[in-house]
Structure 1
Amino acid sequence: MGTDAIGRDILRFSDALPVGICVIGWDRRIILWNRTLADWSGKKSEETIGLLLDEIYPNLKRPSYQTRIDQVLNGGPPAVFSSQLHPSLFDCRHPDGTPRVQQTSIIRYPGGDPDTVSALIIIEDVTELDQEIRSARNMRDQALRLAGERKAAEESLEQLNAKLHLLSSVTRHDILNKVMVIDGFLGFAEEMATDPTLAEYLEHVRAAAMIIQNILLFNREYEKIGQSDPAWLSIEAQVQEIEPGDIPVSCDCPGISVHADPMLRKVFSNLYDNTLRHADGATHVRVACQRTGSGLVITWEDDGPGIPDDDKADVFNRGFGRNTGLGLFLIREILSITGIAISETGTPGEGVRFELLVPEGGFRYD
């Protein structure tokens, strides 16, 4: 049987197709071997026409392949083989010698002679698709691995944080108890001291003990930052939670909430404590809100002496100030969790003015 038995359409277009085309007759002899398949296999068409296909590729003698080809020739459904799952039916290679990943389809084809039954074999090169699939799988596997590693790391970090928190809590509790013991014995010693020099030394000891106590209390508060998820908090409600003192506080932020750490109440109580400690002669505190092009500005103003210009850049640094130097530092840390910035913009001699800038999306009107 020769190429005359093949339909004109196959003869005309097979060499132009970007896939390998082979046609075999009922006897498994090759009738057509197109140009693409010749390039891929290294076997010219004139060398293969008339040969038995399984003589060129002995692996096709396997019963599984023979059975499927017989089924196709006998009118069964098309057979599809992928070299990702099966050995390649045809040894087709790239110019660099690497095998082409193939998808091979075998279809019953009557040909030009109605009394002749042939099988049309189409070989597609799916190497690039296979590489993309493998790359996608590798990316997926890597992402899953990283996600698993991240989850394990987060769980380990949570356990470590819990242990550190417990250790810190127990240690702080024990030290505070010792400070209380020191405070008690200092009281007895001060009552018994008649030497002015000794009394002065005891005063220094008490001051040092108070500093230790304040640092421990600060650490307890600092540990709470970020432990709870940020929430929408009413500004007026937070200001109202300030423990009342000698200086009245007014708030003009009706119906405004900010997205902040639940310790926002500590921000306002620390600002109030700062006013009580440093604003000598202050008679009132005013909290107000104003929408600007950058977001929402919350102002805290008193009518005390204010802060000298030389100190404005340092007031939020840890350790700065006449007392513990921790209150304003803690305020800045709490606010920074949700991107709220704080600065001091008051005029010396006219009182402090702390400005809290809440970014867009971080506030709402209830």
Structure 2
Amino acid sequence: MAVRDHPLLSDPIERRRIIAVCAAAIVAITANITALLYGITTVFPHLFYFPIIIAGYWYPRRAPFVAFLIAIIYCIPAFLLTPQELFTTASIIARGIVYVIIGVIISVLAIRMRQSEQKLHDLIEFLPDATFAIDQSGTVIAWNRAIEEMTGIPKIQMIGKGRYAYSVPFYGERQPILIDYAMHPEIEAKTGYSAIRRIGDIIEAEVIAPVLHDGKGAHLKIATTPFYDPEKKIVGAVESIRDITEEVRTRSALQNSNRQLAALSGIIRHGLSERLEELYRHLTIGIIRFNDPATLTFLEEIEKAADGIRRQITISRDFREIGSRPPAWMPVQETITGLLNRLDSGGMIVHSWMERLEIFSDPHLSVAFTHLIENAMAAGATALVVTYQIHDGICTICFEDNGPGIPDDAKERLFSEGTERSGHGLFLTREILAITGITIREEGRESIGARFVMVVPPEGYRIT
């Protein structure tokens, strides 16, 4: 086998590394021999640290052997070219031992660093989402298996590439993308991102990548964050990409279905309302025309049934858009403040201390809060306090008023449709909250005031 066919010499990068180590060693040997010929025994021996450190970093498992070899190379001419004195001999031997010790230490540290890097590499490599990383100069340093499958480009063709090469598989041209914006906020990512959200150092966004899926395009959800050195300087960034094309299509199909169902239910409600108005007219005529008590009682029962149908129509109208849009993180304080600006509280004072609390709920959260506030107003309360507390990972939100309160025997029926004092408002409130697993109950005391408590699951709240 030819020398150039050796595994360490067949790779151009390995050849350059070996040349660098040998060059550093030759310079150190030449400088030391020259210095020894002139009787100089200090300073120049430190040059041997360079090949030891370089070899230890690039070839950590061979570093002790390289250090031992350099120690021998240093000691032999030092013994031959210096006077044989006890102090000089001890100094030469000690320096050779130091070379070996430094080689061993660098070897151990480099091996541990490689192991740490390998763990990070394995973590990125086997992430289910397509993930890549770049260093401070914009050179790709990681390109995992999932992104290989997404783009069709193997890591061997992408690792080491720079100048925005990582944007080409997605957008067809070299341009700054979200990962560049994470490292350099002054750089404007040219691709049109939507739903951009920053949580600490993490930036989330959605974008359409026109090149993926054989040019058909793909809807992507992206999260990117920079990483730092011990001095808190940005040294690179990582970007994780998820293909949500099918999810978006499903969401769009559901929205279209909801619109069609809403239109159909609107037509049905309109038709039922017209028939109800006709029924009420006949009932009114019947009550005027007939005097028989049995007949009037029968007509009253029919009117009650008609009232029930009207109530169901009203509920279906209010429920028309509930759940039609996906849940989202809703800022509670902003939601309450916004609805108070639109709502006439009738002189009732509302205090809200929600700070930076956000809950994951249906976008119609303001409707639920409106019914709770209107319920307090209808009861004659003059003050309403809204607070929250977190205990054992559970968040509770309390709406507490100073009204007459609710009797114990009425609490079980409180959230049933059409039974509470504000119409079907509390029933609607419960249904809106239940979409994301939030429960509500009444814990107040009669004659002291009502106290509605919402219990938010651990994954359904956050402090921003």
TM-score (norm: length of structure 2):
0.41
Of structures 1 and 2, the one with the larger relative CO (CA 8 A, separation 6+) is 1
Q: Which has the higher helix share?
A: 2
TM-score (norm: length of structure 1):
0.50
Is the radius of gyration larger for structure 1 or structure 2? 1
